Amino acid sequence: MIEVDMMKKVQVREQDPKVRATNFDEVCLGYNEEEAMAESTRCLNCKNPKCVEGCPVSINIPGFIQKVKSGEFKEAADIIAESSALPAICGRVCPQESQCEGKCIRGIKGESVSIGKLERFTADWAREHGIKPEVKAEKKGKKVAVIGSGPSGLTCAGDLAKMGYDVTIFEALHKAGGVLVYGIPEFRLPKDAVVQPEIENVKALGVKIETDVVIGKSVTIDELLEEEGFDAVFVGSGAGLPKFMGIPGEQALGVFSANEFLTRNNLMKAYRDDYDTPIARGKKVVVVGGGNVAMDAARTALRLGAEVHVVYRRSEAELPARVEEVHHAKEEGIIFDLLQNPVEILEDDKGWVKGIRIIKMELGEPDESGRRRPVEVPGSEYEIECDTVIMSLGTSPNPLISSTTKGLEINRRKCIVADEASGATSKSGVYAGGDAVTGAATVILAMGAGKAAAKGIDEFLSK
């Protein structure tokens, strides 16, 4: 029997930091049945559960946890499946601390219930026991095209298929999954073990996936509607365009966007011997930025053998990354250079990076985002030696689709304008959601938007 301290989460097993810093296996090992049942006894089963309010897709959290408590794991999985199509993924990558767990009553005096880990346990148990989603809907005889196979596209496609629509996903890359396969690394989200089965589940609902199709280039949205017989389109094309700083030396060899670095390693598996992909493995790597993407790039570079510094212009409290990732990164030996900002990248005579010049910052008045604005400390510049710089400054939506679709309105941040409740855009029959609408956000928000748009599309096509 596990003894449970009601103030504290049942500890989850993790790979030792020293060991995992040298491999790409998953860091967190998750709960086993006994641990999950023990943790679930901490849930107060509130009448008016705050956690559900904190969940962007309103999973019946106390409901599934009660089933875990009584060992009815399949029933627990069924309850989650009512609201979420990708629970094994969300259990691993959602920022629970600011969502469900952030609202948990237990969290007022002690630690919140470990909702994310229980969700992950339930989803993993269901997958390992071969439980598949059921399809019972009658065919509607209508075709919907979904652009992009990230969480928003997969969710929208899955929901529409369950309603009886004939759905095809078009994906630009050679593999489905969006950021789940090209961005988030194996050690946080295993591809073959976790992501692929979730994609297979969506296919099992009858969804077709056509990879290697770049909408706006291979075929346009207007052609899909007018020539290929689609009755509606959902755009879930994400926010994939990387930003650079515009500082001197940024064209030097050895400067990468986090997207390139992560794509080479995750999608194209540079870290594995059986793949042809090369990657520059620096000896000393500077990652610029403080989000999840920066943490992933830093921890990947570390695993490829580098000493890694994360340079971020605000302080620790403002790091936008999930708390768990920052904690893991520190445990693994990533060095955080906070309140600092690069001003120039220095190159050697061959054009390769040899260092970076950095200026110290201090926090001034709050800006429009409510966070205190970092301002430069005059005369505080210094240089550090490094051979690789990875820019992780955020991403924005790719204009490829908006610029090739007549009558699709975008805002000044290049995001597609869409109604939050239904996903409807300015163009009839075209719906959108996820990062393409919000700018870079989270997996669960993208899923929520995919769900809302599926409902919106169903209403539109049922008229």
Other CB atoms within a 10 A radius of the CB of residue 168 amount to: 18
Enumerate residues 6+ apart whose C-beta is below 8 A from 111: 7, 8, 9
Which of the stretches 177-185, 194-202, 277-285, 366-374 binds ligand FAD when contact is defined by CB under 6 A? Answer: 177-185
From residue 228, give the alpha-carbon distance in Å to each of 144, 232, 233, 397: 10, 11, 12, 26
Q: Is 148 in the site for ligand FAD (CB under 6 A)?
A: yes
Distance CA 285, CA 63 (A): 46
How far is C-alpha 431 from the geometric centre of its chain's CA atoms?
A: 21
The backbone torsions φ and ψ at residue 24, rounded to the nearest 5 degrees and listed phi first, read -105, 15
Binding characters for ligand FAD, 31-70, by CB under 6 A (x = yes): ----------------------------------------
Q: Is 448 in the site for ligand FAD (CB under 6 A)?
A: no
* Least distance in angstroms from the C-beta of 297 to another protein: 12
Distance CA 42, CA 289 (A): 37
Nearer to ligand FAD, 435 or 458 (CB): 435
Query: Scanning residues 314 to 343, which ones bind ligand FAD (CB under 6 A)?
Result: 322
Q: Which stretch binds ligand FAD (CB under 6 A): 19-27, 71-79, 210-218, 244-252?
A: 210-218
Choose among 291, 228, 222: nearest CA to 259.
291
Cβ distance to ligand FAD smaller for residue 213 or 343: 213
Whole-angstrom Cα distance, residue 451 to residue 144?
A: 14
At closest approach, how far in Å is the CB of 380 from ligand FAD? 30
Residue 293, interface with ligand FAD (CB under 6 A)?
yes
Q: Which one of ligand FAD, another protein, none is in contact with 93 (Cβ closer than 5 to 8 A by kind)?
A: ligand FAD
238 counts as binding ligand FAD under rule CB under 6 A: yes
The window from 64-72, 249-257, 348-356, 443-451 that contacts ligand FAD (CB under 6 A) reads 443-451
Give the interface with another protein as residue ranges (CB under 8 A): 172-174, 211-214, 217-219, 240-242, 244, 246, 250-251, 253-254, 256-257, 259-260, 263-264, 268-271, 273-282, 304-305, 350-352, 387, 398, 400
164 burial class (0-12, 13-18, 19+ CB within 10 angstroms)? middle
Query: Are the CB atoms for 236 and 387 separated by under 8 Å?
Result: no
325 and 295 Cβ atoms separated by less than 8 Å? yes
Number of C-beta neighbours around residue 222 at 10 A:
16
Task: Report the partner that residue 22 touches, choosing among another protein, ligand FAD, none (CB closer than 5 to 8 A by kind).
Answer: none
Dihedral angle at the C-alpha atoms of 446, 452, 455, 460, nearest 10 degrees? Answer: -100
355 binds ligand FAD (CB under 6 A): no
Shortest CB 271 distance to another protein, Å:
7
* Least CB distance to ligand FAD at residue 302 (A): 15
Interface stretch with ligand FAD, choices 77-85, 160-168, 328-336, 398-406 (CB under 6 A): 398-406
3-state SS, residue 273: coil
Decide which of ligand FAD, another protein, none touches 236; Cβ closer than 5 to 8 Å per partner kind.
ligand FAD
Least distance between another protein and beta carbon 264 (Å): 7
In the sheet that holds 255-257, the strands lie side by side as 255-257, 388-391, 284-288, 307-312, 335-338
- Minimum CB separation of residue 252 from ligand FAD in Å reads 23
444: nearest Cα among 92, 114, 171, 30: 92
What contacts 377, CB < 8 A, 6 or more positions away? 359, 360, 361, 362
Closer CB to another protein, residue 244 or residue 382? 244
Q: How far is the CB of 161 from another protein (least distance, A)?
A: 23
What is the nearest approach in angstroms of ligand FAD to the Cβ of residue 326? 11
Residues that bind ligand FAD (CB under 6 A): 93-95, 147-153, 170-173, 178-179, 183-184, 213-216, 236-238, 240, 262, 292-293, 296, 322, 398, 400-401, 434-436, 440-444, 446
